[in-house]
């Protein structure tokens, strides 16, 4: 009987009824024999002679005989896997038939699957380190080390090209249990940006602001000088939404005074941990924001409205009717519905501006790394064909697999043309169908479905089209790149101490919530930043801030020390 960890026991207790997920392997617990009549290996894997009737070290697609794999997948952007054009193409290429179990509530259904005794052959989802730990400790997923060595040619190449990958992938027991998903989109790495309505800048004859004082003067002009020309005081100089991606304005406004991140935590170059919300510079940044608010330059709705409400303010039927001058967000698409027939506002109407320079010359933006990385996709101990499963997954980490999943079929969905790409290189990928068209016509699985290795040449290899989403994202990201300061926080942090993990989670939740409500209160004036700052610091200390920061530092440094070995 498998060992039940405390975490898995919690999942079972929280589950009122364990539903057997459709499409999971029906023979996961059966005793099976190899072709010579002996039992399979200890993990229940099929013998080499049964892997599509080919020896393991000779597995080639298409297999000589068809086999079936049961796959649990997150159906985020796939209309229907069974009839999808890529499903048909890949089945023909591999001779592997897939029985799909799909979910749109991946965490709930993944927990249900983990808590059952019947697993799919492959989990085609992104994982947290905690989920991977839970799965391998309970014998649900199989180590991939040897499988990658023998059948993961592309995975091995990517790991060798990126030394950090092996550290991220290696669990505390020394094994690798999942593949990975990466995203080279540079806009993801520095999301705290600011955008201003260019039409107002032009009509008022303003320059784009460079400093905190310049920014304040620009907002005052938006407030006072009727930039939309309707003779009404209806302009909103600045607004955003705390729930919009990159929309929390505190990071953008405070970084000119004190380096900070979304949760305030970062490591310096000596690996010392810092917590910005208790620093004097952070306090000065809040005072700057309060001054903007007191002068009617920051809308109070910024701190309470959701994405829908923000979008309704920005997206108007006539550009001359615009009322919003500046918005913080990761990119323009976070607040502009550019493809809506009801909105005349387009991405290019809001121009990104650089990080502001503060009174002491600070000009910076936090950056999480050079590439976004997540654990993704695993083979279960129930899989009768782990070698085939590994090769089936590994294809998507090749350039061919990436092109197929990004752009579709050459000469049908895209052409290679002698026109400059977003990077200025030739040839480039000229889409004949947009990504959304590929998804809505059920032609691809989308890049969020399978293992993914992103690169600059693939991500920005499309033909440059001024004003397009890809060009807009890249231009804003490059604008911020010279001012980037790394957070030095490892993207993947492993921890096998469940009690410590729970303690960190509880402290983080309480402290993050208190900091969030307090910083809003300081800006709105419901808390006096001059007379109540010390009590704010004392409250954080009494909540266990010192313990929290110590645990975080130990957690991060253990990960970094492993990578240094």
Cα separation of 75 and 85, whole Å?
Answer: 15
Cα separation of 400 and 463, whole Å?
Answer: 18
Computed from CA positions of residues 515, 520, 523, 528, in that sequence, does the dihedral angle turn out positive or negative? negative
Cα separation of 308 and 303, whole Å?
Answer: 14
Single out the residue of 484, 473, 46 nearest to residue 255, CA to CA.
Answer: 484
Compute CA 49 distance to the chain's CA centroid, rounded to the nearest angstrom.
Answer: 40
The pLDDT of residue 381: 98
DSSP state of 78: -
Cα separation of 179 and 160, whole Å?
Answer: 14
Task: Answer whether the bond into residue 62 is a cis peptide, omega within 30°.
Answer: yes
Cα separation of 276 and 264, whole Å?
Answer: 5
The pLDDT of residue 322: 96
DSSP state of 45: P
Compute CA 489 distance to the chain's CA centroid, rounded to the nearest angstrom.
Answer: 15
417 φ, ψ to 5°?
Answer: -130, 155
Is 34 strand, coil or helix? Answer: coil
Burial of residue 209 (number of CB atoms within 10 Å: 0-12, 13-18, 19+) = buried
Cα separation of 507 and 368, whole Å?
Answer: 22
DSSP state of 453: -
Residues 500-507: contacts with CB within 8 Å, 24+ apart? 500/551, 500/555, 501/130, 503/551, 504/548, 504/551, 504/552, 504/555, 507/543, 507/544, 507/547, 507/548, 507/551
Single out the residue of 248, 279, 255, 277 nearest to residue 264, CA to CA.
Answer: 277
Cα separation of 91 and 82, whole Å?
Answer: 11
The pLDDT of residue 559: 87
Residues with Cβ within 8 Å of residue 217, at least 6 apart in sequence: 209
Say if CB 258 and CB 281 are below 8 A apart: yes
| Exposure string for 252-290, b = 16+ CB within 10 A, e = fewer | bbbbbbbbbbebbbbbeeeeebbbbbbbebbbbbbebbb
Show the tokens assigned to 365. Answer: 């933006």
Distances from the Cα of 22 to the Cα of 17, 48, 449, angstroms = 15, 28, 19
Q: 10 Å Cβ neighbour count for 417?
A: 13
Cα separation of 302 and 354, whole Å?
Answer: 21
Residues with Cβ within 8 Å of residue 505, at least 6 apart in sequence: none
Element (H, E) at 520: helix 498-524
63 strand-pairing partners: none
**For every one of its 565 residues, what pLDDT tens digit does the chain have, with 9 covering 90 and above?**
344 454 445 444 444 333 333 333 333 333 333 333 333 333 344 444 455 555 445 799 999 999 999 999 988 789 999 999 999 999 999 999 999 999 989 999 999 999 998 999 999 999 999 999 999 999 999 999 999 999 999 999 999 999 899 999 999 999 999 999 999 999 999 999 999 999 999 999 999 999 999 999 999 999 999 999 999 999 999 999 999 999 999 999 999 999 999 999 999 999 999 999 999 999 999 999 999 999 999 999 999 999 999 999 999 999 999 999 999 999 999 999 876 777 899 999 999 999 999 999 999 999 999 999 999 999 999 999 999 999 999 999 999 999 999 999 999 999 999 999 999 999 999 999 998 899 999 999 988 899 999 999 999 999 999 988 899 999 999 999 999 999 999 999 998 788 998 999 999 999 999 999 999 999 999 999 999 999 999 999 999 999 999 999 999 998 888 766 6
Cα separation of 356 and 256, whole Å?
Answer: 6
Cα separation of 58 and 51, whole Å?
Answer: 10
375 half-sphere exposure, CB direction, 13 A CA radius: 25
Q: What is the Cα Rg of the chain in Å?
A: 26
Show the tokens assigned to 113. Answer: 């699957």
The pLDDT of residue 23: 36
Residues with Cβ within 8 Å of residue 107, at least 6 apart in sequence: none
Say if CB 450 and CB 124 are below 8 A apart: yes
Q: 10 Å Cβ neighbour count for 558?
A: 14
Q: 10 Å Cβ neighbour count for 186?
A: 22
């Amino acid at each position: 009987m498998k060992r039940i960890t405390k975490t898995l026991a919690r999942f079972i207790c929280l589950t009122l009824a364990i539903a057997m997920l459709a499409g999971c392997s029906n023979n996961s617990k059966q005793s099976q024999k190899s072709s010579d009549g002996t039992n399979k290996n200890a993990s229940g894997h099929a013998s080499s002679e049964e892997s599509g009737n080919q020896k393991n070290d000779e597995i080639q697609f298409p297999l000589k005989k068809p086999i079936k794999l049961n796959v649990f997948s997150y159906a985020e952007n796939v209309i229907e896997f069974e009839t999808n054009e890529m499903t048909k193409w890949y089945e023909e290429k591999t001779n592997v038939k897939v029985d799909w179990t799909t979910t749109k509530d991946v965490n709930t259904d993944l927990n249900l699957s983990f808590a059952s005794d019947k697993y799919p052959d492959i989990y085609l989802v992104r994982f947290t380190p905690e989920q991977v730990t839970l799965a391998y400790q309970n014998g649900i997923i199989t180590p991939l080390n040897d499988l990658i060595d023998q059948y993961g040619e592309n995975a091995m190449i990517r790991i060798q090209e990126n030394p950090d990958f092996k550290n991220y992938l290696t669990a505390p027991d020394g094994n690798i249990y999942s593949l990975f998903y990466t995203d080279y989109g540079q806009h993801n790495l520095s999301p705290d940006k600011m955008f201003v309505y260019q039409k107002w800048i032009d009509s008022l004859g303003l320059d784009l602001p460079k400093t905190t004082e310049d920014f304040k003067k620009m907002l005052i002009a938006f407030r006072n000088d009727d930039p939309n020309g309707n003779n009404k005081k209806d302009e909103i100089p600045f607004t955003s939404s705390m729930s919009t991606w990159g929309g929390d304005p505190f990071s953008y406004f405070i970084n000119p005074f004190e380096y900070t991140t979304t949760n305030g935590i970062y490591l310096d170059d000596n690996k010392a941990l810092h917590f910005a919300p208790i620093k004097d510079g952070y306090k000065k940044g809040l005072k700057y924001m309060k001054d903007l608010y007191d002068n009617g330059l920051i809308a109070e709705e910024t701190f309470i409205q959701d994405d829908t409400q923000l979008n309704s303010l920005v997206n108007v039927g006539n550009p001359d009717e615009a009322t919003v001058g500046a918005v913080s967000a990761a990119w323009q698409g976070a607040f502009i519905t550019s493809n809506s027939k009801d909105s005349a506002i387009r991405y290019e109407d809001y121009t990104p501006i650089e990080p502001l320079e503060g009174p002491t010359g600070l000009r910076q933006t936090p950056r999480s790394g050079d590439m976004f990385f997540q654990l993704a996709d695993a083979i279960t101990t129930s899989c009768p064909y782990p070698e085939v499963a590994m090769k089936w997954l590994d294809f998507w980490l090749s350039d061919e697999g990436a092109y197929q999943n990004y752009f579709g079929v050459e000469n049908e969905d895209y052409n290679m043309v002698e026109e400059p790409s977003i990077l200025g290189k030739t040839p480039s990928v000229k889409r004949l169908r947009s990504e959304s068209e590929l998804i809505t016509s059920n032609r691809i699985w989308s890049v969020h479905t399978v293992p993914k290795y992103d690169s600059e040449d693939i991500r920005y290899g499309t033909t440059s089209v001024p004003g397009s989403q890809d060009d807009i994202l890249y231009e804003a990201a490059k604008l911020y790149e010279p001012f980037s300061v790394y957070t030095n926080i490892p993207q993947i942090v492993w921890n096998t101490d469940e009690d410590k993990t729970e303690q960190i989670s509880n402290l983080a939740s309480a402290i993050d919530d208190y900091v969030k409500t307090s910083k809003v209160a300081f800006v709105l004036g419901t808390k006096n930043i001059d007379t109540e700052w010390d009590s704010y610091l004392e409250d954080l200390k009494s909540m266990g801030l010192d313990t929290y920061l110590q645990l975080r530092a130990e957690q991060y440094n253990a990960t970094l020390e492993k990578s240094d070995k």
